[in-house]
Structure 1
Amino acid sequence: MDYYKLKKEIEMGKVRNLYLFYGEEQYFCEKIIKVLEQYAINTSFKDFNYEYMEGDSISIQRIENACETLPFMDERRMVIVKNFPYFQGGKVSKEEEKQIEYLSDYIKRMPNSTCLIFWQIEEIDRRKKLFQVIKKIGLVLDFQKLNAYALRQWINYYFKKKGKKIKKDALDFFIENSDYLSKNSTKTLIDILNEIHKIIDYVGDKEEILVEDIKKILPKRLENDIFKLVDAIGQRDKKIALKLLNDMLKEGENGLKILSMIARQFRILIQCKELKKRGYTPNEIANKLSLMPFIIKKGILQANYFEEKKLCQAIHSILDMDFKIKTGKIDDKLALEMLIYEYTN
């Protein structure tokens, strides 16, 4: 079950009386709850048949009272419990254990006229009894972040919905600079949506969205400048490489961070070379390295500028420079310039 299947199920009239929604992608949690509000209860009587509780206002007694209240002029009541603490890990007191036991038993026999929704933003411990009971008798849905393919589809759909078309290269640039797919990124679809609205506002009546439009709105990402810098090093273009480095430093980027990002890019190139030799396709390499396919395609092309031996040497040089910078033996700007001189000669 995913958001779209559940949405269709609800729209077709199947409303369950127990849900648990959680996960990184809170955008979908909010959307599905709005769908339930629209189809589970008559909005004309929402004031009587809708109850929301969160944080300190939550008690098991209040949950039970809300669920036991009969709906007014409707077949169903909707009760939302947000961030219920007993889904989280950690020890609980004996009294709290009794309370959880009671609630776990109660939800098995609560009235069919109640639609009870637990909505968690906080982390969930799936071993908890309450989680296991809801999973058995209700519907549990973990809204994970979208993968690269689904993100492309979603962004395309949203622009189309707003009467806009986004060119493929513009979409690639947008995704790459949004930082949504990066490992450990905290960006969500809510952040992506904010950027989409900014782009739509910027282009106004213009129907087609180009790379240039997105560049005006999205902040520059260090990864893109690093890619250009490594590209310049690979093409032995010392002048461009030094200019890119100076521009990054002028913009306030940390020298050590630039150094570590160059090392990261060199490692990606080594992995691209090695996996390509083993017969992997660009898409297979992308899956293996958890990177977007277009990043890998660019990486494979960039890797052609370097011998594998040179890339390994460069990483060792960077580790040595990193140590010297941290121990005060060399200035970070000078170390980066030396690296560029060494590998563009």
Structure 2
Amino acid sequence: MVFDIWKQIKAKSFAPIYLLYGTEPYLINETKQLLINNVLSEEEGDFNLSSYDLEETSIDTALEDAETFPFMGERRLIFLHNPIFLTSEKSKAKQEHNLAKLEAYINEPASYSVVVFSSSAEKLDDRKKITKQLKKTAAVLEAKKLNEGELKAWIRERAALNGVQIDEPAVELILTLAGANLFILTNEIDKLALYASETKRIDEQMAEKMVSRSLEQNIFSLVDKIVHRKIEDALRIYYDLLKQNEEPIKILSVITGQFRLIYQVKELARRGYGQQQIAGYLKIHPFRVKLAAGQAQLFGDEELASIISLLADSDYQMKTGGMNKTMLIEMFLFRLQSQALRKNL
């Protein structure tokens, strides 16, 4: 749905009213920017772009602006932020809103204005008459966190918008390396599309070469090497992180967080929770749960508890100055190697 709306905006086919809501700020911000870039020219923006916080300003004032003819241009673009009256939240607005006037405007919007309601609320109150009316009339974008399938579709669509094709293994690798943050994913795909401007195709090798690794993703790779008992590879990644001036205490913190997540996912799965339920319970992205669930299968309960104990000990020594911070993570990795060797004897 989001790409349909974006394509219409780029084609200069504007709805008179937009309703943007949800907890994924990238989708809302990108839609706003597309509207600014396409509804108005740079010169028109000085005269015909308005923004109102509906907790500070009444809807009457905003609608008067929407009903005012544009100055030196064809259209007005008006953003209305924090429409609490569309949600079940208790309003903290300093102004009373004349919703009857808003209802009348929704039924007959000004042909020369584009009015955009923007809310960070996860849900709107569909029991309210004004919410029902707005959802029925406006172009609606629900900016929700994307699941794994939607993230893959996002990568494909973003590549297509850039005029390139992307191989499925490259989609998988980009998601693993860049994570689920849409700001980061978009930057990486746009960068790859520019790199692939001649071939018009992004393959796995190109993604491996070009996609930037965040600290978390580098440490995910490090943990993945640890999980598979590839300690030499883990050490190589660790030394690369040190060359990038990453602090050992930060690296240890992220490693500990990943192993704690593996333990939590394993325990919740044992209790019968599905991956979506686990994601909701832990308040993390489902894709992270999927990756942790795969890693959890490679550890027994006692082994995981032992690793978490080793990490806790390393953390204590790092914070109390018991040993060189750089060496503490090396020692942790060597202890894991010894543990794996004893297990295989």
Deviation at 1:291, TM superposition (A): 4.8
2:14 and 2:115 map into 1 onto residues whose CA distance is: 11
Task: Find the aligned partners of 1:265 and 1:242 in 2 and give their Cα distance.
Answer: 17
Amino acid at match of 1:30: K
1:120 aligns with 2:118: yes
1:233 matched to which residue of 2? Answer: 226
Distance in 1 of aligned mates of 2:233 and 2:63: 68
Aligned partner of 2:65 in structure 1 is: 66
Q: What SS does structure 2 have at the residue aligned with 1:81?
A: strand
Mapped partners of 2:314, 2:178: distance in 1: 31
**Quick check: 1:296 aligned with 2:290?**
yes
Query: Which residue matches 1:29?
Result: 31
Using a 3 Å threshold, how does the CA distance of structure 1 residues 81 and 297 change in structure 2: closer, same or farther? closer
Q: Please state how far the C-alpha of 1:149 moved relative to its aligned partner.
A: 1.1
Q: Distance in 1 between matches of 2:244 and 2:8?
A: 50
Cα deviation digits, residues 172-204 of structure 1 (max 9, x gap)? 12122333x2xxxxx435x53333222121123
Distance change (3 Å), C-alpha of 1:51 and 1:134:
farther
Q: Could you tell me how far 1:53 is from its partner in structure 2? A: 0.8
**For 1:240 and 1:126, how far apart are their aligned partners in 2?**
45
Aligned to 1:54: 51
- Equivalent residue, structure 2, for 1:159: 159
- The answer (yes or no) to whether the contact 1:16–1:138 under 8 Å persists in 2 is no
Partners of 1:18 and 1:259 lie apart in 2 by 49
The 2-side partners of 1:9 and 1:203 are apart by 26
- Rounded Cα–Cα distance in structure 2 between residues aligned with 1:8 and 1:160: 12
Return the alpha-carbon distance in structure 2 between the equivalents of residues 125 and 207 of structure 1: 37
Q: Summarize the Cα distance change of 1:135–1:258 in structure 2 as closer, same or farther, 3 Å threshold.
A: same
Give the alignment of 1:128-147 within 5 angstroms: 134-139=130-135, 141-147=141-147
Kept in 1, the 8 Å contact 2:188–2:212? The answer is: no
Does the 8 A contact of 1:21 with 1:142 survive in 2?
yes
- Shift of residue 336, structure 1, vs aligned partner: 0.9
Question: Which amino acid counterpart does residue 167 of structure 2 have in structure 1?
Answer: K
Q: Are residues 1:252 and 2:250 paired?
A: no
| Amino acid in the other structure paired with 2:147 | N
Distance (whole Å) between structure 2 residues aligned to residue 193 and residue 291 of structure 1: 17
**The residue matched to 1:330 in structure 2 has which SS?**
coil
Matches within 5 A, 1:83-102: 83-84=80-81, 87=84, 91-92=92-93, 96-97=94-95, 100-101=96-97
Query: 1:236: how far off?
Result: 4.2
Equivalent position amino acid for 1:118 in 2: V
Matches of 1:194 and 1:233 in 2, distance apart?
29
Equivalent residues of 2:248, 2:325 under 8 A apart: yes
* Partners of 1:172 and 1:294 within 8 A in 2: no
**How much is the aligned-residue C-alpha RMSD, in angstroms?**
4.6
For 1:316-331, what aligned pairs fall within 5 Å after superposition?
316-331=309-324
**Contact (CA 8 Å) 2:164, 2:200: kept in 1 or not?**
yes
Give 5+ residue unaligned stretches, structure 2: 339-345
Paired residues of 2:52 and 2:80 also in contact (CA < 8 A): yes
Partners of 2:8 and 2:128 lie apart in 1 by 23
Aligned to 1:188: 182
Rounded to whole Å, the distance in 2 between the matches of 1:17 and 1:90 is 26
Shift of 1:279: 7.6
Q: Residues 165 and 207 of structure 1 are in contact (CA less than 8 Å); yes or no, is this contact kept in structure 2? A: yes
**Aligned CA distance change for structure 1 residues 213 and 118 (closer, same or farther; 3 Å):** same
- The offset of 1:136, in angstroms, is 4.1
2:342 corresponds to: none
Deviation at 1:299, TM superposition (A): 5.3
C-alpha distance 116-104 of structure 1, shift in aligned 2 (>3 A)? farther
Question: Any conservation in 1 of the 2:265–2:289 contact (CA below 8 Å)?
Answer: no
Residues 107-163 of structure 1: per-residue CA shift (max 9 Å, x gap): 233472526623437x459899xx966414323654223322112112213324544
Aligned to 1:120, the other structure's residue is in SS state strand
Note if contact 1:286-1:293 (Cα within 8 Å) is conserved in structure 2.
no
Matching residue of 1:337 = 330
Contact 1:29 1:143 in 2 (8 A): no
CA contact (8 A) 2:229 2:337 kept: yes
Q: 1:106 deviation in Å? A: 2.2
Q: How many residues align?
A: 310
Contact 2:66 2:115 in 1 (8 A): no
Q: Is the 8 A contact 1:268 1:299 kept in 2?
A: no
Where 2:251 maps in the other structure, the secondary structure is helix
CA distance in 2, matches of 1:238, 1:18: 57
Amino acid at match of 1:159: A
Of residues 252, 275, 296 in structure 2, which corresponds to 1:285? 275
